[in-house]
């Protein structure tokens, strides 16, 4: 029927008002709303006898939960929608929405195809030939030569090249590798898998290292090493350090600077730093870099003589007296060159990064543990201890919290000076102490493996549930970063929402779908409870619910096996009310008699539940 607002349409142009041939998805949203659209999605494949009469009337049959399909009649005139449905709702329901969506989809599939004009097709054909040129025919060669560049070989001090004979499939992909070093024979009679570029590289490399045919590896020397790498970098068959890495390519020249680093023992050693940073360098005729991240190699530009730079880079770590001799030599002969410093600790590179407190949680597999706090002594292969390892992180430096030194050694061996924030460290330790974590002496552990340092632990294994529930959030609020590995046995998800949907469309019956929302995803609760009942028979035993404390932590599990933690008081009202339904172990929506509406209404009135369709239940109750 027309509404009191229909007079607003009288003065509008009828051609601008939606009709059955012109209405859009946005019109459906304005008529019926997003909620009805979501509810209508499952009924898209349940529509039959869709019939349009003229430009104003539409009818269809929609199979719902009842045995007999619902009939939907729609009248659309001058932008005003009038609907009828034989379902209990009667009008503007999900079945009406599904029919409107179905006609909209049908209309989009049957839209007339524009005529393709010949001159446009010719232009598109020319454009395609440039955007996607014809692919070359796949090579019939079943083998190819792969080159491996290693910066440090077990038998050589410098960079080396070695070869592998690679078997290729029809797509040109490598399926097998074998060491190959018939270098001289390949130059006399080249096999089919050796192309012209390989031959040119082999000639240059054999001039530099004529004994490579015996060792199987080429020493990359200063005369021909750079030329050989330039040739091979364009083949797509040169790999750095491991054949599993992507192929290397030739990169741009990078500026480099020689610096002197300090090792943990106070010795100074040379390092060549490039911009951008590289993972290694090769002392060739001109020093080259290798970037393991971008998979690039190329020359390094410096303002130093090549031979002097090569000699300096080969310097061993120097103690204080040796560094003084080298510094005096350079000041006398080449005063412009970088030299070791007089006082290494005073000249250390300073790191002024902000503090990041890091807590790593994991489980130790032990041979045994002595009694500790509330832990009983335990021995055997099943002995486990859950621990936390706190660390202060300043940029690349990771510092144990019981180490108050400003001078630290990085993972690459360089000594640096850390500008430590002692006030922030003190606040972080105070927050850590409030969680119940305390240091544990390693002497109580019996292990064949090296133990982490330091080790912090809780009073008992049972305390980890509370720590993961509240302690982790409290630490993160104080700036801590808390991590653990996949599969950490105390990690569990939390329930975001408890969801109950009731469908009273079928006369005499109520369709019930109970679920939980975890990490943004809705999971049906029935199969999760079925697994719980199998593990813990108290839930189904007569009087068993009364034996379960309300604050007991209950673990459900996702289909992937990740635990979901809740408390017993969340589940006991549901199980106690609908125990007869959940004990059946059904995996889909549950079905209950309309006579049971009162007990369902009492359950849904609990503020824990987000419910839909409860108006019909309360009416029956």
* In a domain? residue 13: no
**Which of 53, 87, 107 represents a domain boundary (last residue)?**
107
pLDDT of residue 330: 86
Q: State which residues of the chain have pLDDT below 50.
A: 1-12, 111-113, 136, 139
Task: Read off the tokens for 312.
Answer: 């300096």
10 domain-assigned: no
Q: Which domain holds residue 173?
A: 143-250
User: How far, in Å, CA of 389 to CA of 454, rounded?
Assistant: 6
Q: Tell me: do 79 and 182 sit in the same domain.
A: no
> Does residue 457 form part of some domain?
yes
Is residue 383 located within the same domain as residue 413? Answer: yes
CA distances for 525 relative to 497, 514, 541, angstroms: 12, 6, 20
What's the domain count of the chain? 5
pLDDT in tens, 391-416: 999 999 999 999 888 888 887 767 78
Do residue 199 and residue 237 come from a single domain? yes
Residues 362 and 467 in one domain: yes
In the numeric block, the tokens 């005073």 are attached to 346
- Alpha-carbon gap, residue 177 to 170, rounded angstroms: 16
User: Is residue 338 assigned to a domain?
Assistant: no
Structural domain contains residue 52: yes
Pair (425, 354) in one structural domain: yes
Q: Which long-range contacts (CB under 8 A, 24 or more apart) does 431-434 make?
A: 431/474, 431/475, 431/478, 431/479, 431/480, 432/357, 432/359, 432/390, 432/456, 432/475, 432/480, 434/474
Task: Look at residues 389, 612, 408 and name the one whose alpha carbon lies nearest to residue 497.
Answer: 612
pLDDT tens readout for residues 377-392 = 999 888 999 999 999 9
Candidates 599, 558, 555; CA nearest to 576 is 599
Q: For residue 429, is it within any domain? A: yes
Task: Give the pLDDT score at 388.
Answer: 95
Considering the domain boundaries, does residue 117 fall inside one? no
Do strands 268-274 and 280-282 pair parallel, antiparallel, or not at all (unpaired)? Answer: unpaired
For the purposes of burial, counting CB atoms within 10 Å of the CB of 555, is it exposed (0-12), middle (13-18) or buried (19 or more)?
A: middle
Go through 265-292 and write b for each residue having 16 or more CB atoms within 10 A of its CB, e for each that does not: eebbbbebebeeebebbbbbbbbbbbbb
In a domain, residue 130? The reply is no
Q: Residues 313, 316, 319, 321: what is their CA dihedral angle, to the nearest 10 degrees?
A: -80
| β-bridge mates for residue 309, sequence order | none
Specify whether 521 is located in the same domain as 596.
Answer: yes
Angstrom distance (rounded) from CA 454 to CA 461: 19
Residue 28 has a CB neighbour count (10 Å cut-off) of 21
Tell me which of 107, 126, 156 is where a domain ends: 107
Other C-beta atoms lying within 10 Å of the C-beta of residue 372: 16
95 touches 85 (CB < 8 A): yes
In this structure, the answer to whether residues 435 and 557 fall within a common structural domain is no
Specify which residues 518 forms β-bridges with: 495, 521
Q: List, as one string, the DSSP characters of 177-215.
A: EEE---HHHHHHS--TT--HHHHHHHHHHHHH-TTHHHH
User: Does residue 360 sit in the same domain as residue 454?
Assistant: yes
15 burial via Cβ count (<10 Å: 0-12, 13-18, 19+): exposed
Model pLDDT, residue 16: 63
Looking at residue 429, its pLDDT comes to 95
According to the model, what pLDDT value does residue 5 have? 44
Domain boundary among 283, 308, 333: 333
Residues 180 and 295 in one domain: no
Longest dimension (CA), the chain: 104
Q: How far apart are CA 37 and CA 93, in angstroms?
A: 9
Paired sense of beta strands 296-301 and 249-250, if any: parallel
Tell me the residue ranges of DSSP E strands in 558-604: 563-567, 590-593
Residues 244 and 259 in one domain: no
381 shares a domain with 327: no
Burial of 465 (0-12, 13-18, 19+ CB in 10 A): middle
Sign of CA dihedral 481, 495, 589, 73: negative
Residues 381 and 422 grouped into a single domain: yes
């Amino acid at each position: 029927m027309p509404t009191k607002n229909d007079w607003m349409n009288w003065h509008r142009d009828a051609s601008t008002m939606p009709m059955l041939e012109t209405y859009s998805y946005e019109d459906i949203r304005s008529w019926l709303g997003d909620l009805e659209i979501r509810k209508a999605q499952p009924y898209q494949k349940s529509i039959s006898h869709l019939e349009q009469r003229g430009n104003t009337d539409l009818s269809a049959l929609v199979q719902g939960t009842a045995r007999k399909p619902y009939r939907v009649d729609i009248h659309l005139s001058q932008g005003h929608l009038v609907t009828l449905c034989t379902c209990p709702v009667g009008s503007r329901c999900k079945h009406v929405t599904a029919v409107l969506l179905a006609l909209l989809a049908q209309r989009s599939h049957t839209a007339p195809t524009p005529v393709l004009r010949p001159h446009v097709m010719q232009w598109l054909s020319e454009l395609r030939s440039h955007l996607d040129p014809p692919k070359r025919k796949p090579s019939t060669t079943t083998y190819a030569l792969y080159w491996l560049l290693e910066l440090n070989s077990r038998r050589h001090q410098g960079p080396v090249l070695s070869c592998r004979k690679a078997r290729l499939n029809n797509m040109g992909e490598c399926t097998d590798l074998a060491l190959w070093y018939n270098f001289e024979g390949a130059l006399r009679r080249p096999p089919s898998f050796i192309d012209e570029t390989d031959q040119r590289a082999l000639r240059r490399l054999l001039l530099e290292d004529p004994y490579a045919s015996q060792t199987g590896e080429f020493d990359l020397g200063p005369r021909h090493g750079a030329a050989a790498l330039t040739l091979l970098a364009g083949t797509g068959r040169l790999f750095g350090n491991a054949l599993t890495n992507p192929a290397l390519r030739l990169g741009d020249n990078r500026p480099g600077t020689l610096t002197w680093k300090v090792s943990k023992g106070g010795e100074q050693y040379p390092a060549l730093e490039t911009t951008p940073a590289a993972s290694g360098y090769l002392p060739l005729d001109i020093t080259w870099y290798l970037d393991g991240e971008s998979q690039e190699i190329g020359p390094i530009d410096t303002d130093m003589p090549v031979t002097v730079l090569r000699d300096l880079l080969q310097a061993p770590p120097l103690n204080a007296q040796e560094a003084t001799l080298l510094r005096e030599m350079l000041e006398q002969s080449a005063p412009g060159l970088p030299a070791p410093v007089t006082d290494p600790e005073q000249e250390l590179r300073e790191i002024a990064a902000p503090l990041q407190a890091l807590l790593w949680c994991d489980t130790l597999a032990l041979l045994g543990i002595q009694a500790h706090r509330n832990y009983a002594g335990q021995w055997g292969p099943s002995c486990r201890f859950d621990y936390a390892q706190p660390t202060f992180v300043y940029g690349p430096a990771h510092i144990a919290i019981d180490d108050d030194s400003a001078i630290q050694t990085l993972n690459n061996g360089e000594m640096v000076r850390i500008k430590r924030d002692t006030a922030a460290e003190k606040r972080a330790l105070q927050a850590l102490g409030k969680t119940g974590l305390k240091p544990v002496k390693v002497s109580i552990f019996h292990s064949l493996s090296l133990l982490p340092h330091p080790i912090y632990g809780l009073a008992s294994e049972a305390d980890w549930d509370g720590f993961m529930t509240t302690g982790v959030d409290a630490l993160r609020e104080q700036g801590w970063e808390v991590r653990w590995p996949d599969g950490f046995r105390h990690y569990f998800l939390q329930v975001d929402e408890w969801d109950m949907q009731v469908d009273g469309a079928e006369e005499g019956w109520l369709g019930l779908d109970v679920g939980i929302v975890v990490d943004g995803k809705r999971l049906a609760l029935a199969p999760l409870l079925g697994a719980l009942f199998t593990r813990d028979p108290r839930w189904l035993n007569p009087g068993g619910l009364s034996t379960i404390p309300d604050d007991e932590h209950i673990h459900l599990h996702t289909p992937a096996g990740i635990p979901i933690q809740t408390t017993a008081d969340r589940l006991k009202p549901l199980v106690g009310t609908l125990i007869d339904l959940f004990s059946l172990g059904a995996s889909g929506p549950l079905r209950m008699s309309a006579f049971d509406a009162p007990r369902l209404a009492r359950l849904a009135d609990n503020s824990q539940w987000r419910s839909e369709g409860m108006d019909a239940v309360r009416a029956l109750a």
